[in-house]
Structure 1
Amino acid sequence: MITAVVRYTLPPQIDHAACREHFHKIAPNFREVTGLISKHFIWSEGGWAGGVYQWERIEDATAFYTGPWLEGIIQRYGMKPQIDFYEVFAVTDNTRGKVELFEEALPPNDPE
Structure 2
Amino acid sequence: MITAIVRYRLPADIDRAACRDHFESIAPGFQSVKGLLSKHFIWSERGVAGGVYQWASQADAEAFYSGPWRDGIVRRYGMEPEIEFFTVFAKTDNEAGTVTVVEAAQPA
Pair in the same fold by TM > 0.5:
yes
SS in structure 2 of the partner of residue 91 of structure 1: strand
Specify every segment of 5 or more residues in structure 1 that has no aligned partner in the other structure, as ranges.
Answer: 105-112
- Residues 71-82 of structure 1: matches in 2 within 5 Å? 71-82=71-82
State yes or no: 1:37 paired with 2:62.
no
Show CA shifts across 1:50-85 (max 9, x none). 000000000000000012111000000000000000
Identity among equivalent positions (%) equals 63
SS in structure 2 of the partner of residue 31 of structure 1: helix
Cα root mean square deviation, aligned? 0.8
State the TM-score, normalizing by the size of structure 2: 0.94
Partner of 1:10: 10
Q: Could you tell me how far apart the structure 2 residues matched to 1:71 and 1:97 are?
A: 38
Partner of 1:61: 61
Residue 16 of structure 1 and its aligned partner are, at CA, apart by 0.3
Q: Name the count of aligned residue pairs.
A: 104
Q: Could you tell me how far apart the structure 1 residues matched to 2:99 and 2:68 are?
A: 35
Q: Could you tell me how far apart the structure 2 residues matched to 1:80 and 1:56 are?
A: 24
Matching residue's letter, 1:58: Q
Matching residue's letter, 2:72: G
- Name segments (4+ residues, structure 1) moved above 2 Å: none
Q: Could you tell me how far apart the structure 2 residues matched to 1:37 and 1:68 are?
A: 19
State the TM-score, normalizing by the size of structure 1: 0.91
